[in-house]
Amino acid sequence: MLEQTPTDGPAGARRAQKSRTLWVFEQLRAEILDGRLNPGARLHLAALADRHAVSLGAVREALSRLAADGLVLVQDRRGFRVSPVSIADMRDVTATRIEIEGLALRRSIERGDAEWEAGIVAALHVLVRATPGLITDPVLAKPTWVGLHERFHLSLISACGSPWLLRFRQTLFEQSERYRALLVAYAIGGRDISREHQEIAAATLDRDADRAVDLLAAHFNTTTAMLEQADRSGASILSSEAS
């Protein structure tokens, strides 16, 4: 009854406030998103529990939540595995994402106020400053860039007013990130991302919905096309190997 500190635990509260389940959930999510866990790999409950120093139940619950986001596949009685990837799925993710995010962008353009505009300008500025001109060595690109990139895209659609659209967008965004991580591993540089972002922001602030959505679609399609090309020429990135 002594460690029951009234306000908060100042001492050894390194990771307190967070349930163990949430902890492994975030760990595993990150590992899947940046490709440390291969698509299709089997997820051994016991091994994961041991590695992250938690019980089976915690791992099980974390994996269930990941399955909900489509990052993990659960086969009744046969355990969990990382969701496989495929070109067909990547195309579907991209196409659906264009529709969803395009919809959200149109709504934001209709409804956004001055504060929304300010958010875009701010996010774009920070992002461009963090982008080193052309991406030459994407492998070493700071992980912060990924966060800033997401923030920029979120700022574009933040005024859409639909929690459900944003929720679906988030799911598709995570799926896209997974494919992008695979691409980065085999990356080909020579793409002026900053310019693309600036053009999208400009069209949005001009309230030119059609043009903004077109640019956004092209932005997404370029990444997908690059990955498709890399898959065809190079080794088969998009095969779901087991671990």
Is 10 an interacting residue with respect to DNA (CB under 7 A)? no
Size of the site for DNA (CB under 7 A): 26
Q: What tokens does 239 get? A: 């095969």
One of 19, 144, 229, 239 touching DNA (CB under 7 A):
19
For 190, left (φ over 0), alpha (ψ -120 to 50), or beta?
left
Amino acid at 161: G
One of 168, 187, 204, 224 touching a copy of itself (CB under 8 A):
168
**103 contact, one of DNA, a copy of itself, none, CB 5-8 Å limit per kind:** a copy of itself
**68 contact, one of DNA, a copy of itself, none, CB 5-8 Å limit per kind:** a copy of itself
Beta-sheet strands, E only, within the chain: 42-43, 72-74, 80-82
Is 87 an interacting residue with respect to a copy of itself (CB under 8 A)? no
* CA–CA distances in Å: residue 17 to residues 4, 6, 56, 96, 148: 13, 14, 21, 36, 26
**Residues 207 and 109 sit within 8 Å (Cβ to Cβ):** yes
Is 66 an interacting residue with respect to DNA (CB under 7 A)? no
**65 contact, one of DNA, a copy of itself, none, CB 5-8 Å limit per kind:** a copy of itself
Cβ nearer to DNA, comparing 68 with 122: 68
Minimum distance of DNA from residue 34's CB (angstroms): 23
Residues 6+ apart with CB under 8 A from 200: 156, 212, 215, 216, 219
Is 43 an interacting residue with respect to DNA (CB under 7 A)? yes
One of 12, 14, 46, 189 touching DNA (CB under 7 A):
46
Residues that bind a copy of itself (CB under 8 A): 18-19, 22, 57, 60-61, 64-65, 67-70, 76-77, 89, 92-93, 95-96, 99-100, 103, 162-165, 167-168, 172
